[in-house]
Chain A
Amino acid sequence: MASALRSSILRHIRVPLSRTLTLNGSKTTAVRSMSSHGDDHLDKQEVIDRVLDIVKSFPKVDPSKVTPDVHFQKDLGLDSLDNVEIVMAIEEEFKLEIPDKEADKIDSCSLAIEYPSSTSFLPMNCIRRLLWTNY
């Protein structure tokens, strides 16, 4: 009864739309990243801790020598193949996929720390396929 009255009134009168809640107001909740990668917003100290833990638990490494800017081959006396193994362990820890050329260049702890914190986990290069165009 009331809804029929309302719709009959609305058919004759044009009620203007009121733009109430635009997303630009609340900036805090607007940045909700869609990716389900849990590691999206890491802070630097956490990255440093995790990378150092990985390096320290490597069996050929002396844990007391590990600092955030240690070079794997020069300071820790590791091999290039050990380097590869450490990079793989970092990939597994941060659930990243590092391309082969980049992985080859990671030679020291500082590079290893800077890589996960700088890689954005949002798919930037993704091609958006508009699925609804040509139907």
Chain B
Amino acid sequence: MSVASAAYLARRAAQKERVRILYRRALKDTLNWAVHRHLFYPDADALREKFEANRHVDNIETIDRMVAAGEATYNKWRHPDPYIVPWAPGGSKFCRNPPPPQGIEIIYNYGREDNV
């Protein structure tokens, strides 16, 4: 039915990547909104069901439209204050104590400085 040309397969692969990245972000967002795990698990299952329901769609245009709609929904539901790992860029501890440059040392001469 559909010719499995390289362009078609490349487009499908790009779509699959978009879906995976969308699922990842949506899952993280779900964790942001539902902080407690016992609330997170049902929400994550519901999200998974939504993705599973459209698993067998074949028409490439429909998939494009669905992914775009999913991304729009994700943008609408993004948490205003997401949890970012502290050591990651955007986190609170990022660059907090960078390592000092090489060659800088402390000279221990307390009490023996020049008395001016």
Using a CB–CB cutoff of 8 Å, the interface residues on chain A facing chain B are 7, 10-11, 14-15, 17-24, 33-37, 80-81, 83-85, 87-88, 91, 95-97, 100, 103-104, 121-123, 125-128
Q: Which of B24, B88, B115 contacts A87 (CB 8 A)?
A: B24
A85 to B: closest C-beta gap in Å:
7
Q: Is the CB of A23 within 8 A of B99?
A: no
Q: Report the separation of the CA atoms of residues A23 and B105 in the bound assembly, to the nearest whole angstrom.
A: 6
Residues on A with C-beta less than 8 A from B23 are: 81, 84
Q: Given A35-B87, A80-B16, A121-B87, A128 and B24 touching (CB < 8 A)? A: no
Q: Kindly state whether residue B98 has any CB partner on chain A within 8 Å.
A: yes
B18 to A: closest C-beta gap in Å:
10
Q: How many residue pairs at the A-B interface have CB separations less than 8 Å? A: 83
Residues on B with C-beta less than 8 A from A20 are: 108-109
Interface size class of B (residues with CB under 8 A): 35 or more
Q: Kindly state whether residue B53 has any CB partner on chain A within 8 Å.
A: no
Which chain A residue has the least Cβ–Cβ distance from B16? A80
- Which residues 58-116 of B have a CB within 8 angstroms of A? 84-85, 87-89, 91, 93-99, 105-109, 112-115
Closest 6 CB pairs of A and B: A126-B95, A97-B88, A34-B97, A10-B115, A97-B85, A123-B95
26 cross-chain CB contacts under 8 A:
A17-B107, A18-B109, A20-B109, A21-B108, A22-B105, A23-B105, A23-B106, A33-B99, A34-B98, A36-B97, A80-B16, A80-B20, A81-B20, A81-B23, A81-B48, A81-B51, A85-B27, A88-B24, A88-B27, A88-B28, A95-B85, A97-B89, A100-B25, A104-B17, A123-B95, A128-B95
Q: Report the separation of the CA atoms of residues A17 and B107 in the bound assembly, to the nearest whole angstrom.
A: 10
B104 to A: closest C-beta gap in Å:
9
Residues on B with C-beta less than 8 A from A15 are: 112
Residues on B with C-beta less than 8 A from A35 are: 87, 93, 96-97
Which chain B residue has the least Cβ–Cβ distance from A96? B85
